[in-house]
Chains A and B, each alone.
Chain A
Protein backbone atom coordinates (compact mmCIF):
# COMPACT_ATOMS: atom_id res chain seq x y z
CA UNK A 1 0.00 0.00 0.00
CA UNK A 2 2.72 2.45 1.01
CA UNK A 3 4.90 1.52 -1.95
CA UNK A 4 1.98 2.16 -4.34
CA UNK A 5 1.55 5.60 -2.84
CA UNK A 6 5.20 6.38 -3.18
CA UNK A 7 5.25 5.39 -6.83
CA UNK A 8 2.20 7.53 -7.72
CA UNK A 9 3.77 10.46 -5.98
CA UNK A 10 7.08 9.98 -7.72
CA UNK A 11 5.88 9.89 -11.35
CA UNK A 12 5.11 13.59 -11.97
CA UNK A 13 8.36 14.65 -10.38
CA UNK A 14 10.57 13.86 -13.41
CA UNK A 15 11.96 17.33 -14.27
CA UNK A 16 12.34 17.07 -18.08
CA UNK A 17 8.96 15.49 -18.82
CA UNK A 18 7.18 18.41 -20.52
CA UNK A 19 4.28 18.02 -22.87
CA UNK A 20 4.52 19.59 -26.31
CA UNK A 21 1.38 21.45 -27.37
CA UNK A 22 0.78 19.37 -30.51
CA UNK A 23 -1.96 21.50 -32.01
CA UNK A 24 0.26 24.54 -31.58
CA UNK A 25 3.19 22.86 -33.26
CA UNK A 26 0.96 21.81 -36.14
CA UNK A 27 -0.45 25.33 -36.45
CA UNK A 28 3.05 26.80 -36.68
CA UNK A 29 3.97 24.22 -39.33
CA UNK A 30 0.90 24.92 -41.41
CA UNK A 31 1.41 28.70 -41.26
CA UNK A 32 5.03 28.25 -42.40
CA UNK A 33 3.93 25.84 -45.16
CA UNK A 34 1.38 28.34 -46.45
CA UNK A 35 4.04 31.05 -46.40
CA UNK A 36 6.30 28.83 -48.51
CA UNK A 37 3.46 28.05 -50.91
CA UNK A 38 2.69 31.74 -51.42
CA UNK A 39 6.33 32.56 -51.84
CA UNK A 40 7.42 29.83 -54.30
CA UNK A 41 4.28 29.08 -56.35
CA UNK A 42 4.34 31.62 -59.19
CA UNK A 43 1.35 33.94 -59.57
CA UNK A 44 -0.84 33.03 -62.54
CA UNK A 45 -2.24 36.11 -64.24
CA UNK A 46 -0.22 39.01 -62.98
CA UNK A 47 2.33 40.11 -60.44
CA UNK A 48 0.66 41.01 -57.12
CA UNK A 49 2.79 43.61 -55.37
CA UNK A 50 2.25 42.57 -51.76
CA UNK A 51 2.94 38.84 -52.23
CA UNK A 52 6.13 39.01 -50.21
CA UNK A 53 4.30 41.03 -47.56
CA UNK A 54 1.73 38.26 -47.21
CA UNK A 55 4.51 35.71 -46.85
CA UNK A 56 6.06 37.78 -44.08
CA UNK A 57 2.67 38.13 -42.38
CA UNK A 58 2.18 34.34 -42.37
CA UNK A 59 5.65 33.85 -40.90
CA UNK A 60 4.93 36.51 -38.28
CA UNK A 61 1.72 34.74 -37.27
CA UNK A 62 3.61 31.44 -37.04
CA UNK A 63 6.23 33.09 -34.83
CA UNK A 64 3.53 34.65 -32.64
CA UNK A 65 1.76 31.31 -32.11
CA UNK A 66 5.11 29.75 -31.23
CA UNK A 67 5.87 32.54 -28.80
CA UNK A 68 2.47 32.35 -27.11
CA UNK A 69 2.85 28.58 -26.87
CA UNK A 70 6.14 29.07 -25.03
CA UNK A 71 4.68 31.78 -22.75
CA UNK A 72 1.82 29.37 -22.04
CA UNK A 73 4.29 27.14 -20.21
CA UNK A 74 4.40 29.69 -17.40
CA UNK A 75 1.09 31.46 -17.69
CA UNK A 76 -1.93 29.16 -17.51
CA UNK A 77 -4.15 32.09 -18.50
CA UNK A 78 -2.37 32.49 -21.85
CA UNK A 79 -2.22 28.71 -22.29
CA UNK A 80 -5.94 28.10 -21.82
CA UNK A 81 -6.90 30.95 -24.14
CA UNK A 82 -4.57 29.99 -26.97
CA UNK A 83 -5.26 26.28 -26.64
CA UNK A 84 -9.00 26.92 -26.97
CA UNK A 85 -8.27 28.53 -30.36
CA UNK A 86 -5.95 25.69 -31.45
CA UNK A 87 -8.14 24.12 -34.14
CA UNK A 88 -9.00 27.50 -35.62
CA UNK A 89 -5.30 28.41 -35.78
CA UNK A 90 -4.81 25.40 -38.05
CA UNK A 91 -7.97 25.93 -40.10
CA UNK A 92 -7.28 29.60 -40.83
CA UNK A 93 -4.03 29.13 -42.82
CA UNK A 94 -5.65 26.30 -44.78
CA UNK A 95 -8.56 28.56 -45.74
CA UNK A 96 -6.08 31.29 -46.60
CA UNK A 97 -4.18 28.87 -48.84
CA UNK A 98 -7.37 27.83 -50.66
CA UNK A 99 -8.26 31.50 -51.22
CA UNK A 100 -4.73 32.19 -52.46
CA UNK A 101 -4.78 29.22 -54.85
CA UNK A 102 -8.20 30.06 -56.31
CA UNK A 103 -7.24 33.67 -57.00
CA UNK A 104 -3.55 34.51 -57.37
CA UNK A 105 -1.99 31.13 -58.05
CA UNK A 106 -4.44 29.36 -60.36
CA UNK A 107 -6.61 32.30 -61.51
CA UNK A 108 -9.78 30.19 -61.28
CA UNK A 109 -11.94 33.09 -60.07
CA UNK A 110 -12.47 36.13 -62.35
CA UNK A 111 -9.85 38.69 -61.45
CA UNK A 112 -11.42 42.10 -60.86
CA UNK A 113 -14.25 40.73 -58.73
CA UNK A 114 -12.28 38.34 -56.58
CA UNK A 115 -9.15 39.78 -55.06
CA UNK A 116 -6.38 37.61 -53.61
CA UNK A 117 -5.38 38.13 -49.96
CA UNK A 118 -2.24 40.09 -50.87
CA UNK A 119 -4.41 42.66 -52.66
CA UNK A 120 -6.28 43.31 -49.42
CA UNK A 121 -2.99 43.62 -47.64
CA UNK A 122 -1.91 46.16 -50.24
CA UNK A 123 -5.07 48.18 -49.59
CA UNK A 124 -4.39 48.25 -45.85
CA UNK A 125 -0.82 49.35 -46.44
CA UNK A 126 -1.56 52.02 -49.06
CA UNK A 127 -5.01 53.28 -48.19
CA UNK A 128 -5.00 53.07 -44.41
CA UNK A 129 -5.42 56.82 -43.80
CA UNK A 130 -8.67 56.88 -45.75
CA UNK A 131 -9.89 53.65 -44.12
CA UNK A 132 -9.07 54.92 -40.64
CA UNK A 133 -10.83 58.19 -41.39
CA UNK A 134 -13.89 56.30 -42.64
CA UNK A 135 -13.90 54.11 -39.56
CA UNK A 136 -13.70 57.15 -37.29
CA UNK A 137 -16.59 58.89 -39.04
CA UNK A 138 -18.71 55.75 -38.89
CA UNK A 139 -17.93 55.34 -35.22
CA UNK A 140 -18.92 58.93 -34.48
CA UNK A 141 -22.17 58.64 -36.40
CA UNK A 142 -23.05 55.25 -34.95
CA UNK A 143 -22.06 56.29 -31.44
CA UNK A 144 -24.22 59.43 -31.52
CA UNK A 145 -27.21 57.62 -32.96
CA UNK A 146 -27.03 54.55 -30.73
CA UNK A 147 -26.44 56.60 -27.58
CA UNK A 148 -29.42 58.80 -28.38
CA UNK A 149 -31.67 55.89 -29.34
CA UNK A 150 -30.68 53.67 -26.40
CA UNK A 151 -31.10 56.46 -23.83
CA UNK A 152 -34.49 57.61 -25.13
CA UNK A 153 -35.60 54.01 -25.65
CA UNK A 154 -34.70 53.08 -22.11
CA UNK A 155 -36.52 56.07 -20.64
CA UNK A 156 -39.55 55.51 -22.89
CA UNK A 157 -39.66 51.80 -22.03
CA UNK A 158 -39.55 52.43 -18.29
CA UNK A 159 -42.17 55.16 -18.63
CA UNK A 160 -44.59 52.99 -20.64
CA UNK A 161 -44.05 50.03 -18.34
CA UNK A 162 -44.55 52.11 -15.22
CA UNK A 163 -47.20 54.69 -15.97
CA UNK A 164 -50.39 53.80 -17.79
CA UNK A 165 -51.07 57.44 -18.70
CA UNK A 166 -47.70 57.81 -20.42
CA UNK A 167 -48.31 54.41 -22.01
CA UNK A 168 -51.62 55.68 -23.36
CA UNK A 169 -49.83 58.32 -25.46
CA UNK A 170 -46.58 56.55 -26.31
CA UNK A 171 -47.96 53.13 -27.11
CA UNK A 172 -49.71 54.08 -30.41
CA UNK A 173 -46.59 56.01 -31.53
CA UNK A 174 -44.51 52.95 -30.80
CA UNK A 175 -46.85 50.70 -32.70
CA UNK A 176 -46.99 52.89 -35.82
CA UNK A 177 -43.43 54.18 -35.99
CA UNK A 178 -41.51 51.26 -34.50
CA UNK A 179 -42.02 48.50 -37.08
CA UNK A 180 -41.24 50.81 -40.04
CA UNK A 181 -37.72 50.00 -41.31
CA UNK A 182 -35.89 53.20 -40.49
CA UNK A 183 -34.11 53.09 -43.86
CA UNK A 184 -37.51 53.59 -45.51
CA UNK A 185 -37.62 57.02 -43.88
CA UNK A 186 -34.22 57.94 -45.30
CA UNK A 187 -35.41 60.00 -48.32
CA UNK A 188 -37.88 61.84 -46.11
CA UNK A 189 -35.33 62.60 -43.42
CA UNK A 190 -32.75 63.88 -45.88
CA UNK A 191 -34.91 66.86 -46.74
CA UNK A 192 -36.52 67.30 -43.31
CA UNK A 193 -33.21 67.57 -41.48
CA UNK A 194 -30.67 70.39 -41.93
CA UNK A 195 -27.84 68.01 -42.79
CA UNK A 196 -27.50 64.43 -43.96
CA UNK A 197 -25.45 63.78 -40.82
CA UNK A 198 -28.23 64.82 -38.43
CA UNK A 199 -30.76 62.89 -40.52
CA UNK A 200 -28.60 59.79 -40.20
CA UNK A 201 -28.18 60.23 -36.45
CA UNK A 202 -31.94 60.41 -36.17
CA UNK A 203 -32.48 57.27 -38.23
CA UNK A 204 -29.86 55.25 -36.38
CA UNK A 205 -31.38 56.43 -33.12
CA UNK A 206 -34.80 55.38 -34.34
CA UNK A 207 -33.56 51.93 -35.34
CA UNK A 208 -32.03 51.46 -31.90
CA UNK A 209 -34.91 53.07 -30.05
CA UNK A 210 -37.61 50.64 -31.10
CA UNK A 211 -36.23 47.33 -29.77
CA UNK A 212 -34.78 48.99 -26.67
CA UNK A 213 -38.14 50.57 -25.85
CA UNK A 214 -40.18 47.43 -26.45
CA UNK A 215 -37.89 45.18 -24.44
CA UNK A 216 -37.40 47.63 -21.57
CA UNK A 217 -41.15 48.00 -21.43
CA UNK A 218 -41.73 44.26 -21.40
CA UNK A 219 -39.01 43.91 -18.77
CA UNK A 220 -40.60 46.46 -16.47
CA UNK A 221 -44.09 45.09 -17.07
CA UNK A 222 -43.06 41.52 -16.27
CA UNK A 223 -41.49 42.29 -12.90
CA UNK A 224 -42.93 40.00 -10.24
CA UNK A 225 -45.52 42.05 -8.33
CA UNK A 226 -44.38 40.40 -5.10
CA UNK A 227 -41.11 42.36 -5.39
CA UNK A 228 -43.09 45.59 -5.10
CA UNK A 229 -45.11 44.25 -2.14
CA UNK A 230 -41.92 43.40 -0.30
CA UNK A 231 -40.39 46.82 -0.91
CA UNK A 232 -43.60 48.65 -0.02
CA UNK A 233 -44.03 46.91 3.33
CA UNK A 234 -40.43 47.86 4.10
CA UNK A 235 -41.18 51.53 3.56
CA UNK A 236 -40.17 52.06 -0.08
CA UNK A 237 -41.48 55.08 -1.97
CA UNK A 238 -42.22 55.42 -5.70
CA UNK A 239 -38.64 56.40 -6.65
CA UNK A 240 -37.18 53.40 -4.86
CA UNK A 241 -39.67 51.09 -6.57
CA UNK A 242 -38.64 52.39 -10.01
CA UNK A 243 -34.88 52.67 -9.62
CA UNK A 244 -34.14 49.89 -7.14
CA UNK A 245 -36.79 47.33 -8.05
CA UNK A 246 -38.26 47.78 -11.53
CA UNK A 247 -35.09 48.74 -13.41
CA UNK A 248 -32.70 46.14 -11.97
CA UNK A 249 -35.34 43.46 -12.46
CA UNK A 250 -35.85 44.56 -16.08
CA UNK A 251 -32.14 44.75 -16.98
CA UNK A 252 -31.88 41.29 -18.60
CA UNK A 253 -34.61 42.35 -21.04
CA UNK A 254 -32.96 45.73 -21.60
CA UNK A 255 -29.79 44.02 -22.75
CA UNK A 256 -31.68 41.89 -25.25
CA UNK A 257 -33.15 45.15 -26.57
CA UNK A 258 -29.73 46.78 -26.79
CA UNK A 259 -28.38 43.75 -28.66
CA UNK A 260 -31.19 43.89 -31.20
CA UNK A 261 -31.00 47.68 -31.42
CA UNK A 262 -27.27 47.58 -32.09
CA UNK A 263 -27.80 45.09 -34.91
CA UNK A 264 -30.49 47.28 -36.47
CA UNK A 265 -28.26 50.35 -36.12
CA UNK A 266 -25.45 48.74 -38.16
CA UNK A 267 -27.62 48.26 -41.23
CA UNK A 268 -29.12 51.74 -40.92
CA UNK A 269 -25.62 53.20 -40.63
CA UNK A 270 -24.39 51.54 -43.81
CA UNK A 271 -27.45 52.48 -45.83
CA UNK A 272 -27.32 56.08 -44.58
CA UNK A 273 -23.64 56.32 -45.52
CA UNK A 274 -24.27 54.84 -48.95
CA UNK A 275 -27.15 57.21 -49.64
CA UNK A 276 -26.12 60.59 -48.30
CA UNK A 277 -23.30 60.87 -45.80
CA UNK A 278 -20.00 61.61 -47.55
CA UNK A 279 -17.73 59.65 -45.22
CA UNK A 280 -17.64 56.42 -43.28
CA UNK A 281 -17.20 52.75 -44.01
CA UNK A 282 -20.50 52.51 -45.90
CA UNK A 283 -19.46 55.40 -48.08
CA UNK A 284 -16.06 53.76 -48.64
CA UNK A 285 -17.75 50.55 -49.79
CA UNK A 286 -19.88 52.46 -52.25
CA UNK A 287 -16.93 54.52 -53.46
CA UNK A 288 -14.71 51.44 -53.94
CA UNK A 289 -17.41 49.66 -55.88
CA UNK A 290 -17.86 52.73 -58.08
CA UNK A 291 -14.17 52.60 -59.04
CA UNK A 292 -14.30 48.81 -59.45
CA UNK A 293 -11.72 48.66 -56.65
CA UNK A 294 -12.93 45.34 -55.34
CA UNK A 295 -9.91 44.71 -53.19
CA UNK A 296 -10.71 47.93 -51.32
CA UNK A 297 -14.27 46.77 -50.88
CA UNK A 298 -13.23 43.46 -49.37
CA UNK A 299 -10.74 45.22 -47.14
CA UNK A 300 -13.44 47.60 -45.88
CA UNK A 301 -15.91 44.75 -45.39
CA UNK A 302 -13.41 42.85 -43.29
CA UNK A 303 -12.82 45.90 -41.10
CA UNK A 304 -16.54 46.39 -40.74
CA UNK A 305 -17.13 42.78 -39.71
CA UNK A 306 -14.44 43.04 -37.07
CA UNK A 307 -15.73 46.39 -35.79
CA UNK A 308 -19.37 45.27 -35.52
CA UNK A 309 -18.41 42.02 -33.87
CA UNK A 310 -16.19 43.95 -31.47
CA UNK A 311 -19.06 46.24 -30.49
CA UNK A 312 -21.40 43.33 -29.82
CA UNK A 313 -18.68 41.64 -27.77
CA UNK A 314 -18.22 44.84 -25.77
CA UNK A 315 -21.95 44.94 -25.09
CA UNK A 316 -21.92 41.37 -23.83
CA UNK A 317 -18.92 42.16 -21.65
CA UNK A 318 -20.87 44.97 -19.99
CA UNK A 319 -23.88 42.70 -19.62
CA UNK A 320 -21.87 39.92 -17.99
CA UNK A 321 -20.55 42.47 -15.52
CA UNK A 322 -23.92 43.94 -14.62
CA UNK A 323 -25.85 40.68 -14.63
CA UNK A 324 -23.32 38.52 -12.79
CA UNK A 325 -26.17 37.45 -10.50
CA UNK A 326 -27.90 35.63 -13.35
CA UNK A 327 -27.42 31.93 -13.66
CA UNK A 328 -26.78 30.24 -16.99
CA UNK A 329 -26.78 33.41 -19.07
CA UNK A 330 -25.89 32.97 -22.75
CA UNK A 331 -22.25 33.51 -23.66
CA UNK A 332 -21.44 35.51 -26.80
Chain B
Protein backbone atom coordinates (compact mmCIF):
# COMPACT_ATOMS: atom_id res chain seq x y z
CA UNK B 1 0.00 0.00 0.00
CA UNK B 2 2.73 2.39 0.98
CA UNK B 3 4.83 1.32 -1.96
CA UNK B 4 1.92 1.83 -4.33
CA UNK B 5 0.97 5.30 -3.17
CA UNK B 6 3.62 7.37 -5.02
CA UNK B 7 2.94 5.74 -8.38
CA UNK B 8 -0.78 6.38 -7.99
CA UNK B 9 -0.25 10.07 -7.31
CA UNK B 10 2.25 10.36 -10.15
CA UNK B 11 -0.30 8.85 -12.53
CA UNK B 12 -3.02 11.10 -11.17
CA UNK B 13 -1.00 14.28 -11.66
CA UNK B 14 -0.01 13.23 -15.19
CA UNK B 15 -3.63 12.99 -16.23
CA UNK B 16 -6.01 15.88 -16.62
CA UNK B 17 -9.50 16.04 -15.09
CA UNK B 18 -12.04 16.92 -17.75
CA UNK B 19 -15.46 18.22 -16.92
CA UNK B 20 -18.13 18.76 -19.58
CA UNK B 21 -21.32 20.42 -18.39
CA UNK B 22 -24.48 20.56 -20.55
CA UNK B 23 -22.48 21.26 -23.68
CA UNK B 24 -24.45 22.15 -26.82
CA UNK B 25 -23.11 22.92 -30.26
CA UNK B 26 -24.37 23.22 -33.80
CA UNK B 27 -23.45 24.25 -37.32
CA UNK B 28 -25.05 26.51 -39.86
CA UNK B 29 -25.88 24.47 -42.94
CA UNK B 30 -27.48 26.27 -45.91
CA UNK B 31 -28.76 28.95 -43.55
CA UNK B 32 -30.28 26.40 -41.21
CA UNK B 33 -29.08 25.59 -37.74
CA UNK B 34 -28.03 21.99 -37.43
CA UNK B 35 -27.69 20.90 -33.82
CA UNK B 36 -24.83 18.47 -33.34
CA UNK B 37 -24.42 18.15 -29.59
CA UNK B 38 -27.26 18.52 -27.15
CA UNK B 39 -26.65 19.09 -23.44
CA UNK B 40 -23.82 16.61 -23.13
CA UNK B 41 -22.42 16.27 -19.61
CA UNK B 42 -19.45 14.12 -18.80
CA UNK B 43 -16.89 13.90 -16.04
CA UNK B 44 -13.58 12.27 -16.84
CA UNK B 45 -11.27 11.45 -13.95
CA UNK B 46 -7.52 11.95 -14.32
CA UNK B 47 -5.87 9.00 -16.03
CA UNK B 48 -9.09 7.49 -17.33
CA UNK B 49 -9.26 6.02 -20.83
CA UNK B 50 -12.68 6.93 -22.19
CA UNK B 51 -13.98 5.65 -25.51
CA UNK B 52 -16.80 7.45 -27.30
CA UNK B 53 -18.99 5.30 -29.52
CA UNK B 54 -21.93 6.33 -31.61
CA UNK B 55 -23.48 6.30 -35.07
CA UNK B 56 -21.42 7.80 -37.86
CA UNK B 57 -21.73 11.59 -38.04
CA UNK B 58 -23.36 11.88 -34.62
CA UNK B 59 -21.02 14.61 -33.39
CA UNK B 60 -18.32 12.71 -31.51
CA UNK B 61 -15.54 14.36 -33.50
CA UNK B 62 -17.13 17.76 -32.91
CA UNK B 63 -17.00 17.06 -29.18
CA UNK B 64 -13.28 16.31 -29.51
CA UNK B 65 -12.66 19.55 -31.43
CA UNK B 66 -14.40 21.49 -28.65
CA UNK B 67 -12.37 19.73 -25.96
CA UNK B 68 -9.18 20.44 -27.93
CA UNK B 69 -10.19 24.09 -28.02
CA UNK B 70 -10.11 24.27 -31.82
CA UNK B 71 -13.60 25.76 -31.82
CA UNK B 72 -15.60 27.58 -29.16
CA UNK B 73 -18.76 25.83 -28.03
CA UNK B 74 -22.20 27.41 -28.52
CA UNK B 75 -23.34 26.76 -24.96
CA UNK B 76 -22.22 24.91 -21.87
CA UNK B 77 -19.02 24.61 -19.91
CA UNK B 78 -15.76 22.84 -20.63
CA UNK B 79 -13.29 22.63 -17.78
CA UNK B 80 -9.79 21.21 -17.81
CA UNK B 81 -8.70 20.74 -14.18
CA UNK B 82 -11.36 23.27 -13.28
CA UNK B 83 -10.07 25.90 -15.72
CA UNK B 84 -12.33 26.85 -18.66
CA UNK B 85 -11.05 25.74 -22.08
CA UNK B 86 -10.78 28.84 -24.29
CA UNK B 87 -8.36 27.67 -26.98
CA UNK B 88 -5.93 24.96 -27.99
CA UNK B 89 -3.17 24.09 -25.56
CA UNK B 90 -0.26 21.66 -25.88
CA UNK B 91 -1.45 19.89 -22.73
CA UNK B 92 -4.43 18.65 -24.78
CA UNK B 93 -3.09 17.15 -27.99
CA UNK B 94 -5.13 15.60 -30.78
CA UNK B 95 -4.16 12.63 -32.95
CA UNK B 96 -6.36 12.76 -36.04
CA UNK B 97 -7.58 9.99 -38.30
CA UNK B 98 -5.13 11.16 -40.96
CA UNK B 99 -1.57 11.45 -39.72
CA UNK B 100 -1.42 14.98 -41.30
CA UNK B 101 2.36 15.01 -41.20
CA UNK B 102 3.92 17.97 -42.96
CA UNK B 103 5.31 16.51 -46.20
CA UNK B 104 8.10 19.12 -46.37
CA UNK B 105 9.51 18.15 -42.99
CA UNK B 106 11.49 15.06 -42.22
CA UNK B 107 10.12 12.68 -39.59
CA UNK B 108 12.32 14.17 -36.88
CA UNK B 109 11.20 17.71 -37.66
CA UNK B 110 7.57 16.63 -37.73
CA UNK B 111 7.89 15.19 -34.25
CA UNK B 112 9.69 18.35 -33.13
CA UNK B 113 6.79 20.51 -34.31
CA UNK B 114 5.20 21.14 -30.91
CA UNK B 115 8.49 21.96 -29.19
CA UNK B 116 9.44 24.29 -32.04
CA UNK B 117 6.07 26.05 -31.92
CA UNK B 118 6.44 26.58 -28.18
CA UNK B 119 10.06 27.74 -28.50
CA UNK B 120 11.40 24.80 -26.52
CA UNK B 121 13.25 22.95 -29.27
CA UNK B 122 16.74 24.23 -28.43
CA UNK B 123 16.60 23.10 -24.81
CA UNK B 124 14.47 19.98 -25.17
CA UNK B 125 15.48 18.44 -28.51
CA UNK B 126 16.39 15.17 -26.77
CA UNK B 127 12.68 14.64 -26.15
CA UNK B 128 12.18 14.21 -29.89
CA UNK B 129 14.58 11.28 -29.98
CA UNK B 130 12.88 9.77 -26.93
CA UNK B 131 9.44 10.08 -28.53
CA UNK B 132 10.67 8.47 -31.76
CA UNK B 133 12.24 5.71 -29.69
CA UNK B 134 8.91 5.12 -27.93
CA UNK B 135 7.08 4.49 -31.20
CA UNK B 136 9.99 2.47 -32.59
CA UNK B 137 10.90 4.75 -35.48
CA UNK B 138 14.33 6.06 -34.50
CA UNK B 139 15.80 4.71 -37.73
CA UNK B 140 13.37 6.75 -39.81
CA UNK B 141 14.20 10.13 -38.27
CA UNK B 142 15.70 11.40 -41.54
CA UNK B 143 12.93 10.04 -43.81
CA UNK B 144 10.29 12.15 -45.48
CA UNK B 145 6.62 11.33 -44.72
CA UNK B 146 6.03 10.10 -48.28
CA UNK B 147 8.53 7.32 -47.63
CA UNK B 148 6.48 5.91 -44.72
CA UNK B 149 3.66 3.37 -44.68
CA UNK B 150 0.27 4.32 -43.22
CA UNK B 151 0.98 2.66 -39.89
CA UNK B 152 4.41 4.27 -39.60
CA UNK B 153 2.99 7.69 -40.44
CA UNK B 154 0.36 7.31 -37.72
CA UNK B 155 3.09 6.29 -35.27
CA UNK B 156 4.97 9.47 -36.15
CA UNK B 157 1.79 11.44 -35.49
CA UNK B 158 1.56 9.72 -32.11
CA UNK B 159 5.18 10.60 -31.33
CA UNK B 160 4.49 14.19 -32.39
CA UNK B 161 1.69 14.27 -29.80
CA UNK B 162 3.60 12.49 -27.03
CA UNK B 163 6.65 14.74 -27.26
CA UNK B 164 4.56 17.49 -25.66
CA UNK B 165 3.83 15.26 -22.66
CA UNK B 166 0.09 15.82 -23.01
CA UNK B 167 -2.10 15.44 -19.96
CA UNK B 168 -5.08 14.70 -22.16
CA UNK B 169 -4.57 12.73 -25.37
CA UNK B 170 -7.45 13.18 -27.77
CA UNK B 171 -7.65 10.33 -30.27
CA UNK B 172 -10.01 10.95 -33.18
CA UNK B 173 -10.26 7.51 -34.82
CA UNK B 174 -6.47 7.31 -34.98
CA UNK B 175 -6.45 3.72 -36.23
CA UNK B 176 -9.44 4.08 -38.55
CA UNK B 177 -7.52 3.88 -41.78
CA UNK B 178 -5.00 1.21 -40.87
CA UNK B 179 -5.09 -2.40 -41.97
CA UNK B 180 -6.27 -4.86 -39.32
CA UNK B 181 -2.83 -6.26 -38.46
CA UNK B 182 -1.26 -2.83 -37.96
CA UNK B 183 -4.33 -1.90 -35.97
CA UNK B 184 -3.90 -4.72 -33.49
CA UNK B 185 -0.22 -3.85 -32.98
CA UNK B 186 -0.99 -0.20 -32.48
CA UNK B 187 -3.82 -0.91 -30.05
CA UNK B 188 -1.26 -2.68 -27.89
CA UNK B 189 1.13 0.24 -28.22
CA UNK B 190 -1.56 2.74 -27.27
CA UNK B 191 -2.30 0.79 -24.10
CA UNK B 192 1.40 0.49 -23.24
CA UNK B 193 2.00 4.19 -23.71
CA UNK B 194 -1.08 5.14 -21.75
CA UNK B 195 -0.11 2.87 -18.87
CA UNK B 196 3.41 4.25 -18.80
CA UNK B 197 2.56 7.94 -19.17
CA UNK B 198 -0.64 8.05 -17.16
CA UNK B 199 -2.38 10.69 -19.27
CA UNK B 200 -6.13 10.92 -19.61
CA UNK B 201 -7.30 9.59 -22.98
CA UNK B 202 -10.40 10.37 -24.99
CA UNK B 203 -10.88 8.05 -27.95
CA UNK B 204 -13.45 8.28 -30.72
CA UNK B 205 -13.79 5.04 -32.62
CA UNK B 206 -16.24 3.14 -34.77
CA UNK B 207 -14.83 -0.15 -33.69
CA UNK B 208 -16.69 -1.50 -30.65
CA UNK B 209 -14.05 -4.14 -30.08
CA UNK B 210 -11.32 -1.51 -30.06
CA UNK B 211 -13.21 0.52 -27.47
CA UNK B 212 -13.56 -2.55 -25.27
CA UNK B 213 -9.90 -3.50 -25.57
CA UNK B 214 -8.55 -0.04 -24.77
CA UNK B 215 -10.93 1.90 -22.57
CA UNK B 216 -11.92 1.55 -18.96
CA UNK B 217 -15.06 3.54 -19.65
CA UNK B 218 -17.25 3.50 -22.76
CA UNK B 219 -19.79 6.20 -23.58
CA UNK B 220 -22.45 5.42 -26.17
CA UNK B 221 -23.98 8.37 -27.99
CA UNK B 222 -27.38 8.62 -29.65
CA UNK B 223 -27.83 9.75 -33.24
CA UNK B 224 -27.45 13.46 -34.06
CA UNK B 225 -27.85 15.65 -32.07
CA UNK B 226 -25.60 13.55 -29.89
CA UNK B 227 -26.68 12.88 -26.33
CA UNK B 228 -25.26 10.29 -23.99
CA UNK B 229 -27.29 7.12 -24.30
CA UNK B 230 -25.38 4.78 -22.03
CA UNK B 231 -22.19 4.51 -20.03
CA UNK B 232 -20.30 1.34 -19.24
CA UNK B 233 -17.36 0.82 -16.97
CA UNK B 234 -14.97 -1.94 -17.94
CA UNK B 235 -13.12 -3.36 -14.96
CA UNK B 236 -10.79 -5.70 -16.74
CA UNK B 237 -7.02 -5.82 -16.45
CA UNK B 238 -4.76 -5.21 -19.46
CA UNK B 239 -3.78 -6.75 -21.79
CA UNK B 240 -7.31 -7.77 -22.63
CA UNK B 241 -8.33 -10.49 -25.03
CA UNK B 242 -11.00 -9.99 -27.60
CA UNK B 243 -12.56 -13.40 -26.92
CA UNK B 244 -12.90 -12.75 -23.17
CA UNK B 245 -16.57 -13.77 -22.54
CA UNK B 246 -17.11 -10.66 -20.41
CA UNK B 247 -16.07 -8.42 -23.31
CA UNK B 248 -18.03 -10.46 -25.84
CA UNK B 249 -21.10 -9.96 -23.71
CA UNK B 250 -20.47 -6.23 -23.42
CA UNK B 251 -20.01 -6.02 -27.16
CA UNK B 252 -23.39 -7.60 -27.72
CA UNK B 253 -24.95 -5.06 -25.35
CA UNK B 254 -23.29 -2.11 -27.08
CA UNK B 255 -24.22 -3.35 -30.53
CA UNK B 256 -27.78 -3.45 -29.30
CA UNK B 257 -27.50 0.12 -28.06
CA UNK B 258 -26.20 1.20 -31.45
CA UNK B 259 -29.21 -0.47 -33.09
CA UNK B 260 -27.20 -3.33 -34.57
CA UNK B 261 -28.38 -6.03 -32.17
CA UNK B 262 -30.13 -8.19 -34.73
CA UNK B 263 -27.46 -8.08 -37.40
CA UNK B 264 -25.24 -10.01 -35.01
Hey, which bits of chain A sit against chain B, CB under 8 A? 224, 226-227, 229-237, 240, 244-245, 248-249, 251, 323, 325-327
Contacts and interface: CB of A to CB of B under 8 A. Distances in A.
Nearest to B97: A226
A182 B102 CA distance: 38
A234 B144 contact: no
Interface of A, secondary structure class, is helix
A235 B144 contact: no
A30 B38 CA distance: 84
A227 B98 CA distance: 11
A235 B89 contact: yes
B100 interface: yes
Given A227-B100, A230-B96, A233-B70, 14 more contacts: A226-B98, A230-B160, A232-B88, A233-B93, A233-B94, A234-B93, A236-B117, A244-B116, A248-B105, A249-B102, A251-B104, A325-B103, A325-B104, A325-B105
B181 to A, nearest CB: 26
Given A245-B102, A325-B104, A325-B146, A235 B96 contact: no
5 contacts: A230-B160, A232-B88, A235-B89, A244-B117, A325-B146
B114 interface: yes
A240 B87 CA distance: 16
Interface centre among A233, A236, A240, A323 (most CB of B within 10 A): A233
B68 A233 contact: yes
B263 interface: no
Interface centre among B98, B102, B118 (most CB of A within 10 A): B102
B150 interface: no
A249 B104 CA distance: 8
Contacts of B114: 234-235
B158 interface: no
Given A233-B70, A235-B164, A226 B100 contact: yes
Contacts of B105: 248, 325
A245 to B, nearest CB: 7
B116 A230 contact: no
Contacts of B160: 230, 234
Nearest to A240: B117
Nearest to A234: B114
A227 to B, nearest CB: 6
Contact of B118 (A226, A235, A249, A251): A235
A62 to B, nearest CB: 45
Interface centre among A227, A234, A248, A326 (most CB of B within 10 A): A234
A249 B101 CA distance: 12
A231 B113 contact: yes
Shortest 9 CB-CB contacts between residues of A and residues of B: A234-B114, A236-B117, A235-B90, A235-B118, A232-B88, A226-B100, A233-B88, A248-B104, A325-B104
B92 to A, nearest CB: 7
Interface in B69-92: 69-70, 87-90, 92
Contacts of B90: 233-235
Contacts of B98: 226
Contacts of B117: 231, 234-237, 240, 244
B96 A234 contact: no
A234 B113 contact: yes
B200 to A, nearest CB: 15
A232 B117 CA distance: 9
Interface centre among A248, A325, A327 (most CB of B within 10 A): A325
B113 A229 contact: no
Interface in B107-122: 113-114, 116-118
A230 B92 contact: no
B150 to A, nearest CB: 16
B227 to A, nearest CB: 26
A232 B104 CA distance: 18
